[in-house]
Structure 1
Amino acid sequence: MSGYYPYGGGEAPAPPPPPEDKGGTALKTVLIGAAIAGVVTVVAGMLIVFNSPAEYGLAGNDRDTLALETQPKTGQPEQALFQAPANVPPPLPQITPAPPMLPSTPVKIVIKRLGINAPIKSVGLAKDGSIEVPPSNNANLAGWYRNMSTPGEVGPAVILGHKDTATRAAVFARLPEIKNGDTIEVKRQDKTTAVFTVGGVEQASKKTFPTQRVYGAQDNAQLHLITCGGTYNRSTGHYTDNVIVYATMTSSYRS
């Protein structure tokens, strides 16, 4: 396409012819000769290597290989979820339980590795007989079921929390990431803190909830955390499963 001047009329003039080549032929001859010499040198070197492969570390039986088991790992395996019949007791951590404490209402739960630091509200039973859940308008709020033990007292203490709300992640959104051996701290009204060690994590269908394992009597102080898991069912507005964390009190201190 022909061009146009920016500020005038008419077509732009044709570009001037290239200058006459002076000495170009001689230069081309020199470059071609150098290229041919380079190719000859490379081919000669390859022939020498191929005739004596062992001397250059290319013999098949002499090459070092990295064993499969020493290859770098791309990721760590996920922790296996606890699985057992509903009448099997909760899993215990590999540590001796601490002696139970006197009852005291919980006020805050802290799981440092997951970034959880949340106040606790006392909850009871709803009209349909199910346990109340904390109000969804406060995403960072957990609920302690007051009809069971207090955290640190002998028996199971149960704390519930939402996984998410209609608009954002909630207090127990990261609970499925918890690992065996992680610690959970529950600060109590009497200025003491009960420290629990995780012994197992279970994902159970809400249709086959392990009632006895979660709420059954225990000889030591336990903490059971519950949130939603599995697939969200849009027709019912609920998740299909529950994620349950089983932890045992292994120490305590005064706040």
Structure 2
Amino acid sequence: MSGYYPYGGGQPNQPPPPADKGGTALRTVLIVAAIAGVVTVVAGLLIVFRSPEEYGLASNRDSLALRAQPKNTGQPEQALFQAPANVPPPLPQINPAPPMLPSTPIRLVVKRLGINAPIRSVGLAKDGTIQVPPSENHNLVGWYRNMSTPGEVGPAVLLGHKDTRTRAAVFSRLPELRHGDTIEVKRQDKTTAVFTVGGIEQASKKTFPTQRVYGSQENAQLHLITCGGTYDRTTGHYTDNVIVYATMTSSYRS
């Protein structure tokens, strides 16, 4: 006899209760079943992540079919401009304004899209392509300084990112612009050039309409360029470009 008394009272020298072998076996079965369930779930997730498009989980960068207008605006979609590369850019049905003297652009405002972004001058990269603004700054627009300034005679070219690795960027909604929408560029000389959209084009980067975008023009034009189409994981780039063509139709003192 041990004379052991458990805390809280009890009978002296009472033997411990017999081991519950059935309960132990049941707990073992439940633990094994739980482990098997976790393994099954993990295996299923691995299959889905390897082929996300088959399960409706592909990221936005995997399938970015661009539209001229969102489906749920209550307005009919606008057809994208399509033409051979040597065809001039589309013009709005309004008389162009007389070109202004050159002046460095400092800010881009597109009220319809909620864009109010600073502009930075960019040149050519080492591979001969036009530089783009730093990807870490999602709200920065680049002006290609080897072309006209916005408001000056000829095409002025502004570039912006569609997205970054973590969020949408300044030109993410560019395809939503419509024929007749206005774009404002604030300039260093305290004037604002107002441009009217004539058309929007989505072109493969393999057949980029170089002449239409960079060719000489008799009036002041503005061309906005961003990425579009499908994101190619192999190259790390989108397959297409979205190009907005606009003509200066007025100006005012800022």
- State the TM-score, normalizing by the size of structure 2: 0.71
Helix, strand or coil at the partner of 1:213? helix
Tell me how far apart the structure 1 counterparts of residues 74 and 234 of structure 2 sit (CA, whole Å).
Answer: 36
Residue 231 (structure 2) pairs with residue 214 (structure 1) = no
The equivalent of 1:168 in structure 2 is 167
The equivalent of 1:91 in structure 2 is 90
The structure with the largest alpha-carbon Rg is 1
Helix, strand or coil at the partner of 1:122? strand
Partner amino acid, structure 1, of 2:138: A
The equivalent of 2:176 in structure 1 is 177
The equivalent of 2:105 in structure 1 is 106
Tell me how far apart the structure 2 counterparts of residues 218 and 155 of structure 1 sit (CA, whole Å).
Answer: 5
The alignment yields a C-alpha RMSD, in angstroms, of 1.2
List aligned pairs for 1:94-243, cutoff 5 A: 94-243=93-242
Residue 249 (structure 2) pairs with residue 250 (structure 1) = yes
> How far is 1:75 from its partner?
4.1
5+ residue gaps, structure 1, are 1-73
**Among the aligned pairs, what percent are the same residue?**
88
Q: With a CA cutoff of 8 Å and minimum separation of 6, indicate the structure with the bigger relative contact order.
A: 2
Give the number of aligned pairs: 183
Write out the 4+ residue segments of structure 1 that deviate beyond 3 Å after TM superposition. Answer: none
Tell me how far apart the structure 2 counterparts of residues 225 and 234 of structure 1 sit (CA, whole Å).
Answer: 25
5+ residue gaps, structure 2, are 1-72
Tell me how far apart the structure 2 counterparts of residues 126 and 95 of structure 1 sit (CA, whole Å).
Answer: 37
Tell me how far apart the structure 2 counterparts of residues 153 and 220 of structure 1 sit (CA, whole Å).
Answer: 8
Tell me how far apart the structure 1 counterparts of residues 238 and 77 of structure 2 sit (CA, whole Å).
Answer: 22
Partner amino acid, structure 2, of 1:126: A
The equivalent of 1:6 in structure 2 is none
Tell me how far apart the structure 2 counterparts of residues 171 and 91 of structure 1 sit (CA, whole Å).
Answer: 23
Tell me how far apart the structure 2 counterparts of residues 192 and 162 of structure 1 sit (CA, whole Å).
Answer: 26
Tell me how far apart the structure 1 counterparts of residues 115 and 175 of structure 2 sit (CA, whole Å).
Answer: 13
Tell me how far apart the structure 2 counterparts of residues 144 and 239 of structure 1 sit (CA, whole Å).
Answer: 21
Helix, strand or coil at the partner of 2:251? strand
Tell me how far apart the structure 2 counterparts of residues 178 and 142 of structure 1 sit (CA, whole Å).
Answer: 17
- State the TM-score, normalizing by the size of structure 1: 0.71
> How far is 1:137 from its partner?
1.1
